[in-house]
């Protein structure tokens, strides 16, 4: 079947995907979607992704856990080395791990600033760098960073998160500029309001939940599988000419 045949276009058979923060929510949704498309999964993060690994194996794909505290750049190279030793190659990198701290800008601490920037931006860059070297040497690879609505908007009471996710958008474009001609695609997904454990409090707040849904043209919260579908597209040959793009998967939030 040709590249653009029904099966081949989104087929990830034989590919290895390193997914950070794969234990729950969006990371888990992405890992499962990639596995359904044929990819094997290296699940990395501070917390073991046992449930995700079990579900991926249930789909008939290979999956392994890799412990990595991504709040520190020191975890990057040991993680990449371990995945390469186990799987032999990395075809897809999903930079999903991230944290958030909330406080008024006038009260925001340096510790909260550094913690968020280190995890969400600094470690993300050096993970891109390490895996990027491997991909450039092989002449191919797909890197997908997880951005945010706050890559485009300012938000309130989350200064370091907004700064980090704005930085993710900029880095995505810079790396695409440098690596596109080397066979490595770098893009990002900006999720909207997704129903996960992290947003349970918002979903449970009757007033805020109503306000959020009223703002979303699709009229519902997103599901992690919605992000998974976008990740399969950006990880597959269907998106080979997509470079440096930030794909909003938000039910129309930004269009409102």
For the entire predicted model, the pTM comes to 0.95
Predicted confidence (pLDDT) per residue in 142-160, tens digit: 999 999 999 999 999 999 9
pLDDT of residue 60: 97
Predicted confidence (pLDDT) per residue in 50-63, tens digit: 999 999 999 999 99
Neighbours of 160 (CB within 10 A): 25
pLDDT of residue 201: 83
User: Given a cut of 60, is residue 185 above it in pLDDT?
Assistant: yes
pLDDT-based confidence at residue 1 (cuts at 50, 70, 90): very low
Q: What residue has token string 């958030």?
A: 100
How far is residue 82 CA from its own chain's centroid?
A: 20
Pairing of strands 246-249, 92-95: unpaired
Predicted confidence (pLDDT) per residue in 130-142, tens digit: 999 999 999 999 9
Range name among 79-93, 102-116, 168-182, 188-202 with the lowest pLDDT average: 188-202
Distance CA 175, CA 152 (A): 19
Q: Which domains, and CATH codes, for the chain? A: 8-251 (3.40.50.720)
pLDDT of residue 7: 60
Pairing of strands 141-146, 16-20: unpaired
3-state DSSP call for residue 153?
coil
Active-site residue flag, 4: no
pLDDT-based confidence at residue 198 (cuts at 50, 70, 90): confident
Predicted confidence (pLDDT) per residue in 62-112, tens digit: 999 999 999 999 999 999 999 999 999 999 999 999 999 999 999 999 999
Closest CA to 238 of 229, 225, 250: 229
pLDDT-based confidence at residue 199 (cuts at 50, 70, 90): confident
The stretch 171-200 carries a mean pLDDT of 95
Q: Which of 4, 161, 193, 241 is catalytic?
A: 161
- Rounded percentage of the chain residues whose pLDDT exceeds 70: 97
User: Given a cut of 80, is residue 4 above it in pLDDT?
Assistant: no
Q: What angle do CA 126, 132, 137 make, to 5 degrees?
A: 140
pLDDT-based confidence at residue 197 (cuts at 50, 70, 90): confident
């Amino acid at each position: 079947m040709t590249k653009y045949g029904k099966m081949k276009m989104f087929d990830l058979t034989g590919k290895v995907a390193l997914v950070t923060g794969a234990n729950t929510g969006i990371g888990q949704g992405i890992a499962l979607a990639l596995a359904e498309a044929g990819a094997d999964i290296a699940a990395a993060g501070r917390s073991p992704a046992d449930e995700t690994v079990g579900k991926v194996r249930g789909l008939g794909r290979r999956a392994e856990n890799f412990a990595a505290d991504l709040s520190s750049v020191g975890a990057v190279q040991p993680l990449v080395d371990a995945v390469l030793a186990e799987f032999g190659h990395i075809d897809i990198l999903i930079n999903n791990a991230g944290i958030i701290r909330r406080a008024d800008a006038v009260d925001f601490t340096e510790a909260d600033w550094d913690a968020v920037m280190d995890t969400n931006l600094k470690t993300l860059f050096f993970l891109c760098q390490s895996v990027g070297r491997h991909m450039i040497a092989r002449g191919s690879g797909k890197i997908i960073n997880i951005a945010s609505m706050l890559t485009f908007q300012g938000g309130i009471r989350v200064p370091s998160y907004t700064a980090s996710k704005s930085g993710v958008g900029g880095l995505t474009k810079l790396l695409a500029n440098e690596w596109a001609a080397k066979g490595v695609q770098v893009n990002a997904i900006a999720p909207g309001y997704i129903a996960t454990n992290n947003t349970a409090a918002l979903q449970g707040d009757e007033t805020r939940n109503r306000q959020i849904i009223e703002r979303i043209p699709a009229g519902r919260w997103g599901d992690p599988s919605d992000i998974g579908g976008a990740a399969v597209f950006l990880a597959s040959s269907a998106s080979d000419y997509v470079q440096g793009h930030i794909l909003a998967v938000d039910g129309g939030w930004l269009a409102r």
